Structure 1
Amino acid sequence: MSDMTKQFGVLVCVDGSSASDAAVAWGTREAIMRKLPITLMHAVQPVVVGWPEGQLYADMPEWQHDDAQHVIEQARKTLNAGLAGARAPETRTEVVYSGVVPALVEASKDAWMIVAGSQGLGALGRLLLGSVTTGLIHYAHCPVAVIHSSETAALDTNAPVLLGVDGSPASEAATALAFDEASRREVGLRALHVWSDVGVFPVLGMDWRDREREGREILAERLAGWQERYPDVHVERLLFCDKPSRWLLEESERAQLVVVGSRGRGGFPGMLLGSVSSAVAQSAKVPVLVVR
């Protein structure tokens, strides 16, 4: 089964929240842009009863079934409201009675992309990723788009796509998808590489100019083939030192989408893109696409 014919197409996790509605709206645009089907999936956590100890209901209770149908209906309405005159993509719905993260991770094997809403505010008013979104970032088998509910509707569709480049295999996959996203959206691409994540004087005797030159070479090498494949995409290169997540978040304010790899070490030893991608997915105000 090829990547573009996977049965779920764009798979959107829905739960009835405002973040879920934002995920449906964004996922709908992605499905239309790529001419893929969209699947609205709601996972219902099985009910545990006290006797016998730890026993699960074998079937979904009626009240959970009713709630699930309400969630699916709301998601369908959100999808239709966001078409803006475009032809609706082939739309499927599915309700699964299983642990939420395991069910979605399993479904991601047959999805081209999975889209999830961030989970709102923590006790101190700070944006926090929910356990479901975090689980998908770490374990999904396809790219994961994390959508924040409050800012998505006001996205500048003329803004560029921002790509984090670190030289790892995950970063290479992210680069491929970022160029494709920019080309389909008819916008530019800003490729950002951080040549050191510990400052310009981390090691006694280290010549930071050599490291910076190496960073430029990594950026040039990773972009060369893709620029030839996508000549319509204007590329701007950004090179920084110190704290990749900080620069990605700062530059994300001028982007409509951030694309990062999920894991791997970068050009400088110790730069774990896994922690960077999690930080960016949690704090960016625009959609973040994490590519495994």
Structure 2
Amino acid sequence: MSQHQSAQGILVGVDGSAESDAAIRWAAREASMRGAALTLVHVVAPLVARWPIASMYANISEWQRDNARHVLEQGVKTAHACVADSRFTDIHSETVSSSVVPALVHASRSQTMVVVGSRGTGALGRMLLGSVSTGLVHHSHCPVAVIRPEAAVVDGTAPVLLGVDGSPASEAATAMAFEEASGRGVGLVALHAWSDVAVYPMLGMDWSEYESQGHEVLAERLAGWQERYPDVNVRRRLVCDQPARWLIRESEHAQLVVVGSRGRSGFASTWLGSVGSAVAQSADIPVLVVRGSSTGSR
């Protein structure tokens, strides 16, 4: 086990929580599948206190170091235990003294993917993404996978689910989704909603026109990718409204959801706030959020 961060691999933030353990297991399997290095990072936030309170925490740094060592050692054991290929030994660990989100965002510059639990040791409820996962999906320089500890056992033959919108930013998510489906040897479901809000029937509304436009968007966004990944069977899914609701619903029959980090609105993170964040909060399977400039490489 090396105490350094490897470049262009998969990084997982660990803190000893159930969410962290789930993230380690998923990241280890992903790294083994990709043949990529796996780096476990435990971030220790510096304590700032004035005398006389500071004297009460004289040994806190030593305790933090011991705790970090324990968390990382257990994390490495967890990673090895869940990977069937005994030849997979490219696992590293590192302790960083910093604020958690800035440290992981900085580390994401040299990684293929960052994996975190849906919430950490201080979270209060299932329906709220933790501050770390929320910060990362907004600011990471590479794709971010958000993992839940209570997720049901995923069917290995289930497809990858891709959320497609009409923006150029969804191209990176499409690339990653095809890559993930091909690596898993499964199909891909590409879902497109031609409206971000609930739609109610109106007199004279030409539904066929909207449907035709939706099919055009799907065809445009998938063009070239099916030729590049002929092994991936693609099923197109067109819905009329509320993409988050449909993605969550469709995720019940998938093993991974891939969404972009921004969309039709044109404002960075706006689409993520309304769709990607909702899916990451509610889906019981891993959710992979891909920034517009992110591309995966196997």
- Cα offset, 1:86, TM superposition: 4.0
Question: Could you report, residue by residue, the CA deviation over 1:95-114 in whole angstroms, capped at 9, with x for unpaired residues?
Answer: 00000000000000011100
For structure 2, the residue ranges without an aligned partner over 5 or more in a row are 1-5, 292-298
Distance change (3 Å), C-alpha of 1:137 and 1:117: same
Partners of 2:105 and 2:30 lie apart in 1 by: 20
Give the corresponding residue for 2:187. 188
Give the corresponding residue for 1:230. 229
Question: Could you report, residue by residue, the CA deviation over 1:53-93 in whole angstroms, capped at 9, with x for unpaired residues?
Answer: 99xx9x98111111111110110110111022442241111
- Spell out the pairing of 1:58-73 with structure 2 (5 A cutoff): 61-73=61-73
State, as a whole percentage, how many aligned pairs show the same letter. 63
Partners of 1:60 and 1:37 lie apart in 2 by: 32
* Partner SS, residue 137 of structure 1: helix
Distance change (3 Å), C-alpha of 1:8 and 1:276: same
Give the corresponding residue for 1:84. 84
Partners of 2:7 and 2:244 lie apart in 1 by: 34
Equivalent residues, number: 279
Contact 2:28–2:82 (CA<8 Å) still a contact in 1? Answer: yes
- Spell out the pairing of 1:76-155 with structure 2 (5 A cutoff): 76-119=76-119, 126-151=126-151, 154-155=153-154
TM-score scaled by length of structure 2: 0.87
Give the corresponding residue for 1:33. 33
- Cα offset, 1:208, TM superposition: 3.1
* Partner SS, residue 94 of structure 2: strand
- Cα offset, 1:224, TM superposition: 1.8
Distance change (3 Å), C-alpha of 1:169 and 1:35: same
Equivalent AA in structure 2 for residue 223 of structure 1: L
Equivalent AA in structure 1 for residue 161 of structure 2: L
- Cα offset, 1:273, TM superposition: 4.4
Partners of 2:50 and 2:16 lie apart in 1 by: 28
Contact 1:266–1:273 (CA<8 Å) still a contact in 2? Answer: no
Give the corresponding residue for 2:294. none
TM-score scaled by length of structure 1: 0.89
Equivalent AA in structure 2 for residue 182 of structure 1: A
Greater CA deviation, 128-137 or 192-201? 192-201
Partners of 1:53 and 1:215 lie apart in 2 by: 62
Matched, 1:241 2:240: yes
Give the corresponding residue for 2:258. 259
For structure 1, the residue ranges without an aligned partner over 5 or more in a row are 1-5
Give the corresponding residue for 2:212. 213
* Partner SS, residue 150 of structure 1: coil
Partners of 2:247 and 2:113 lie apart in 1 by: 22
Distance change (3 Å), C-alpha of 1:203 and 1:291: farther
Partners of 2:234 and 2:259 lie apart in 1 by: 16
Partners of 2:271 and 2:80 lie apart in 1 by: 40
Matched, 1:283 2:282: yes
Contact 1:20–1:117 (CA<8 Å) still a contact in 2? Answer: yes
Give the corresponding residue for 2:7. 7
Contact 1:147–1:286 (CA<8 Å) still a contact in 2? Answer: yes
Partners of 1:91 and 1:85 lie apart in 2 by: 13
Distance change (3 Å), C-alpha of 1:36 and 1:173: same
The two structures, once aligned, show a CA RMSD in angstroms of 2.5
Contact 1:9–1:38 (CA<8 Å) still a contact in 2? Answer: yes
Distance change (3 Å), C-alpha of 1:197 and 1:208: farther
Moved over 3 A (4+): 51-54, 120-123, 199-206
- Cα offset, 1:129, TM superposition: 1.1
Give the corresponding residue for 1:162. 161
* Partner SS, residue 249 of structure 2: helix
* Partner SS, residue 208 of structure 2: helix
Equivalent AA in structure 1 for residue 262 of structure 2: R
